[in-house]
Amino acid sequence: MLSNLGIISSSISLLASLLLIYLSFVELKVSGDKIQKKIYKFSSVQLIFSLLSFLVLLIGYIFSDFSMINVYENSHTEKPLLYKISGTWGNHEGSLLLWINILVLFSFLFLFLNKNKNKNFKIFTLIFQNLLISIFFIFLLTNSNPFSPVFPIPGEGLGLNPILQDPALAIHPPLLYVGFVGSSIYFSAALAALISKVEAKSLATTLKPWISISWFFQTTGILVGSIWAYYELGWGGYWFWDPVENSSLMPWFLMTALLHSVLVLERRIGLYSWVIILSILTFTMSVVGTFLVRSGILNSVHTFANDPSRGLFILTFLILMVFSSIFIFFKYTPSEKKNYKIFSKEFFILINNWFMVFFLAVVLIGTLYPVFLDTLIGEKISVGPPYYNFVLAPFLIPLLFLMTSGPKHKWISSETKIFFDIILFLSVFLFLIIFFIIKENNLLINLILLFSIYLIIQNIFDFYENLKNRNINLSRIISHFGFGLLIFFISVNHIFSVESNFNVRVGEKKDIKNYIIKFENLETSSGNNYKSVVGYFEIFNKKKLIKENLEPEIRVYNQPKTITYEASINSNLFSDTYLTMSNISDSDIFNIKFQKKPFMNFIWLSVLLISLGGILNFFKRKKEI
């Protein structure tokens, strides 16, 4: 049976992890610079059987093997192949197995790709990484076993939540997992560096590619998840500060700070302890997000099952991990000089780091405050966009300025380059043109627009200047350019968005600002595993004298019994027309959510540019000095 093969494969991989820990401690007592071949062999065995266990579960889903309870509870025979495959990680047990496989893969790659590094550094990294692997394998096999058999074997499965049956969500979790689970390797390496006393430049060059690759996948995963939520959940926007969204964003702030800090460390200017702290905190926040999603304490549409024992295990692991890391840090951290010249490049990086930490604190408080309030006094509240917009938006202005000004300064020196006045003048000139076109009176939004334009133009000049000198730092230029575009288009989207919720019957019209919305007709239809009610709407734009036809749906799925509300989106290059409908119980009245969202495609493109800059940093070979 497949279930037995899966359990045996996982057990062998766990045994290999434990043997690697033992052999690594033995290896520390062996003289010489090279690691014995048997450690490499056991690492290969660990990877092979870990991947085999995941392959077993994947085959179970593809061929609908309902002898495994995990497949029975999350799949059925009529499900399309793509969603059978994505169902493998669309649940707690399967996603935990994917999590472990990424831990194992990063452990294997780190060992084989760093053969010339300090021996003790590699060994201690292997020990810490395999402690993580062993703990999660034990958790998998004792509490969350995806291979647990069910008897008698059912003839049909229960099915996967329909909102998870989507192409974007098929790739969203693996992308995120490579991102935040990948941060485990620089968590392990940071602790190992402290104990083995690795010097600054060596640590920086070792960590940099791992930080870059995890940051790229985390950014891309967040982007794909945002696009999915936009068209699948009926939210109608790019971000809604949902607790699960926040759990993926929190480690991203720290990864971003770490990605910049390691540049300072690479030049031996300082921040050794700070890079260690950020490496520890990044993976810690990844585990915090895992705890929030899997413990059941959050109320969200895409959390996993709420088994308290699972939450208790992760919380216990988190506490032990944090206190162990603190102990190692304070015992082994070296003293270092912290003399940074004001207005030097490293000074601006450090300030930007503190902005990232501040953003993290704001999001963490907004996510956890409702949980603590509910636990302590039983009062249920939700913290939504007004809180985040009010607290975070003003701090975007100095952040944008620092991102623009910082790269113009030199390492260690306080000298600045020219172009400051020219770029600022052009930015103000373009802003004034835009201001007279949009006629926005909100001072905060206007300042954000001005400084986002400043960042965009600065990076255009940087690209030209570096191209002329044949010394292009494309990774930084593209990421910062993308971030400037992102903030600019989010601001314009906020200014020109039209949103309205209203009730209407078939045949009725609704007049909203420059639009007339008519509910033309209602029809029923059926798909492979659902029945639907389709609404036919005509949207007339009074300004442009054009009509759009939208067809939102209410779908009723059989396996499992679920009702979903499918948005109808008419998307073009510059604007999206967005409509969802839901039925008011026992009546012929429908609640309609109408939105006109400008520049949504440009928002997605901006994040893609930010992500592209990160992956270019990974492939970059020539360092900017």
Query: Is the predicted pLDDT of residue 260 greater than 70, yes or no?
Result: yes
CA atoms 597, 599, 605, 607: torsion sign: negative
Are the CB atoms for 367 and 383 separated by under 8 Å?
Answer: yes
Name every residue whose Cβ is closer than 8 Å to that of residue 524 and which is 6 or more positions away in sequence: 531, 532, 533, 534
Treating both helix axes as pointing N-terminal to C-terminal, what angle do 385-405 and 345-377 enclose, rounded to 10 degrees? 170
Q: Show the tokens assigned to 191.
A: 């602790």
Query: How confident is the model over 194-207, as a mean pLDDT?
Result: 92
Distance CA 474, CA 617 (A): 8
Nearest alpha carbon to residue 404 among 307, 296, 477: 477
Q: Which pLDDT score, from 0 to 100, does residue 299 have?
A: 59
> If you search the block for the tokens 């039925």, which residue do you land on?
583
Are the CB atoms for 128 and 188 separated by under 8 Å?
Answer: yes
Q: Which pLDDT score, from 0 to 100, does residue 484 have?
A: 96
336-347 confidence digits (pLDDT tens): 766 667 777 888
Q: Quick check: helix, strand or coil at residue 565?
A: strand
Distance CA 194, CA 48 (A): 31
What backbone torsions phi and psi does residue 540 show, to the nearest 5 degrees? -110, 125
Name every residue whose Cβ is closer than 8 Å to that of residue 428 and which is 6 or more positions away in sequence: 450
Name every residue whose Cβ is closer than 8 Å to that of residue 294 and which is 6 or more positions away in sequence: 92, 303, 304, 305, 307, 310, 311, 314
Indicate the DSSP class of residue 264.
H
Nearest alpha carbon to residue 125 among 31, 215, 181, 195: 195
Q: Which pLDDT score, from 0 to 100, does residue 231 have?
A: 85
Task: Enumerate the domain spans of the chain.
Answer: 1-161, 417-625
Higher pLDDT, 50 or 585: 50
> If you search the block for the tokens 């999603």, which residue do you land on?
293
Q: Which pLDDT score, from 0 to 100, does residue 621 have?
A: 46
Distance CA 452, CA 455 (A): 5
Treating both helix axes as pointing N-terminal to C-terminal, what angle do 119-143 and 92-113 enclose, rounded to 10 degrees? 170
Higher pLDDT, 319 or 407: 319
Q: Which pLDDT score, from 0 to 100, does residue 302 have?
A: 54
390-416 confidence digits (pLDDT tens): 999 999 999 999 999 888 777 766 565
478-535 confidence digits (pLDDT tens): 999 999 999 999 999 999 999 999 999 999 999 998 899 999 999 998 877 788 999 9
Distance CA 610, CA 613 (A): 5
Q: Out of 101-105, 121-125, 231-235, which region has the weakest mean confidence (pLDDT)? A: 231-235
Distance CA 438, CA 94 (A): 49
The pTM assigned to this predicted structure is 0.92
Query: Is the predicted pLDDT of residue 274 greater than 90, yes or no?
Result: yes
Q: Which pLDDT score, from 0 to 100, does residue 340 have?
A: 67
Query: How confident is the model over 547-561, as a mean pLDDT?
Result: 86
Specify the amino acid at residue 520: E
Higher pLDDT, 223 or 267: 223
Mean pLDDT computed over every residue of the chain? 88
DSSP 393-455: HHHHHHHHHHHHHGGGBPSS---B-S-HHHHHHHHHHHHHHHHHHH----HHHHHHHHHHHHH
Percent of the chain with pLDDT over 90: 60
Query: How confident is the model over 6-14, as a mean pLDDT?
Result: 96
Query: Is the predicted pLDDT of residue 418 greater than 70, yes or no?
Result: no
Specify the amino acid at residue 506: V
